[in-house]
């Protein structure tokens, strides 16, 4: 029995690259610290989908969408035959597989588009930064996550179909998508062109884009860590930064509501156990800056999240007392809080590289790598 080339090189590179991009996007979504890597995986995923749309028009025979043109009766008949073990073998995609692939392409475009909306609305980054309201980004986030779960379900069904068809026809379809070749029971026949040049360009583009996008991480050192996202630029005040930053981190006013800052300025004589002596002019200037740029100004994602987590009758005086802060930090191991670089929960600079700027970007967060060593030394020093 002869073999013929069914899947050209670009189709195979697309298939496995898309699977890898989806897996990378899924795994990196489990921790907001990896948002930057998640974003690249999403961009790669979207770019691959756009390539596949183009290749579905100009590609080789079995890659073209016209080879997917099966109506519902054909799909239903194929599924019925599959259930009885008498399904017809196809050199290209079978009717059910064709529909699942078209659905995955459409679903992938929806998930990717929603992701770009989330990045622009919630995070204030990407091509749509400044054009998408925060609330719209929140709604897009729901669509993005729901679509990703639905896509995972369809991918699972697709894998199940591959296993069933491989078993039914005695042909390893996974290996076929690696080599591109299938058995040709009809004898010698004409296969498709390999399109190696297009495949090489596609692969080189993916690798080059990844190196350019992630080069900051590749060049990162403990002395010079990389902060991928830099905005937004929040309002600053020299007097506030000098007076408040003299004893602790100058917590940006966007991290608490107006009522919290007003209460704090009224109780400077007992400022967390300290008597803060400020002249009237300095106190008035600081209070004006704090109240004008409090969480209600909604200048950053943390401001949106913190304000939404505080009940109207609550007046928190510590950022660490807010529901949002507690939720975001609930999964952090105690060894990081006691690490020499951190020491206590209000030392935001111990983990957040942009704490001074007040932006608290997800990708600017680094858990101290010395925490385990600090914990080990503390344990060994105890009798």
Sorted by where each starts, the structural domains of the chain and their CATH numbers stand as: 2-218 (1.20.950.20), 238-381 (no CATH)
pLDDT category at 186 given cuts 50, 70, 90 is low
**What integer pLDDT is reported at residue 120 of this predicted model?**
94
Q: Going by C-beta distance under 8 Å and a sequence separation of 6 or more, which residues neighbour residue 42?
A: 21, 25, 112, 115, 116, 119
**What integer pLDDT is reported at residue 191 of this predicted model?**
75
DSSP 49-108: HHHHHHHHHHS-GGGSGGGG---HHHHHHHHHHHHTT-PPP-SS--HHHHHHHHHHHHHH
Q: Which of 145, 155, 124, 157 is nearest to 30 (CA)?
A: 145
pLDDT, tens digit, 9 for 90 and up, residues 230-280? 778 899 999 999 999 988 899 999 999 999 999 999 999 999 989 998 999
- How far apart, in whole angstroms, are the C-alpha atoms of residue 186 and residue 62? 17
Q: Which of 320, 291, 288, 292 is nearest to 306 (CA)?
A: 320
pTM of the predicted protein model: 0.87
Least confident of 39-43, 87-91, 103-107, 255-259: 87-91
Q: Going by C-beta distance under 8 Å and a sequence separation of 6 or more, which residues neighbour residue 71?
A: none
**What integer pLDDT is reported at residue 117 of this predicted model?**
97
Higher pLDDT, 47 or 233: 47
- CB burial class (10 A; 0-12, 13-18, 19+) of residue 325? buried
pLDDT, tens digit, 9 for 90 and up, residues 73-88? 999 999 999 888 888 8
DSSP E strand boundaries for 156-218:
181-184
Q: Which of 369, 236, 257 is nearest to 303 (CA)?
A: 257
CB 367 within 8 A of CB 333: no
Average pLDDT, the chain: 90
């Amino acid at each position: 029995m002869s073999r013929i080339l069914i899947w050209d090189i670009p189709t195979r590179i697309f298939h496995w690259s898309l699977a890898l991009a989806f897996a990378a996007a899924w795994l990196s979504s489990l921790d907001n610290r990896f948002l930057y890597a998640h974003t690249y995986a999403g961009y790669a995923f979207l770019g691959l989908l756009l390539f596949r749309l183009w290749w579905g028009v100009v590609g080789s025979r079995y890659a073209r969408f016209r080879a997917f043109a099966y109506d519902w009766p054909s799909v239903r008949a194929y599924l019925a035959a599959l259930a009885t073990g008498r399904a017809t073998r196809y050199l290209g995609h079978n009717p059910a597989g064709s529909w699942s692939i078209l659905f995955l392409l459409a679903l992938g475009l929806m998930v990717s588009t929603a992701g770009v909306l989330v990045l622009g609305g919630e995070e204030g980054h990407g091509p749509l930064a400044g054009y998408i309201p925060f609330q719209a980004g929140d709604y897009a986030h729901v669509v993005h996550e729901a679509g990703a779960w639905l896509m995972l379900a369809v991918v699972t069904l697709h894998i199940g179909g591959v296993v069933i068809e491989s078993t039914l026809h005695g042909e390893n379809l996974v290996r076929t998508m690696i080599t591109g070749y299938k058995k040709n029971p009809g004898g010698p026949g004409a296969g498709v062109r390999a399109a190696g040049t297009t495949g090489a360009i596609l692969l080189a583009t993916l690798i080059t884009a990844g190196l350019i996008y992630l080069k900051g991480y590749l060049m990162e050192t403990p002395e010079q860590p990389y902060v991928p996202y830099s905005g937004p630029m929040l309002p600053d005040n020299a007097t506030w930064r000098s007076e408040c930053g003299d004893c602790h981190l100058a917590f940006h006013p966007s991290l608490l509501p107006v009522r919290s800052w007003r209460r704090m300025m009224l109780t400077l004589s007992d400022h967390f156990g300290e008597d803060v002596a400020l002249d009237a002019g300095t106190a008035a200037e600081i209070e004006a800056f704090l109240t004008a740029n409090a969480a209600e100004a909604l200048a950053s994602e943390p401001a949106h999240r913190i304000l939404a987590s505080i009940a109207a009758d609550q007046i928190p005086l510590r950022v660490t007392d807010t529901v949002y802060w507690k939720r975001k930090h609930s999964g952090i191991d105690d060894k990081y809080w006691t690490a020499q670089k951190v020491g206590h929960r209000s030392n935001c600079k111990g983990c957040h590289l942009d704490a001074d700027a007040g932006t608290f970007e997800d990708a600017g967060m680094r858990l101290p790598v010395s925490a385990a060593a600090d914990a080990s030394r503390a344990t060994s020093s105890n009798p």
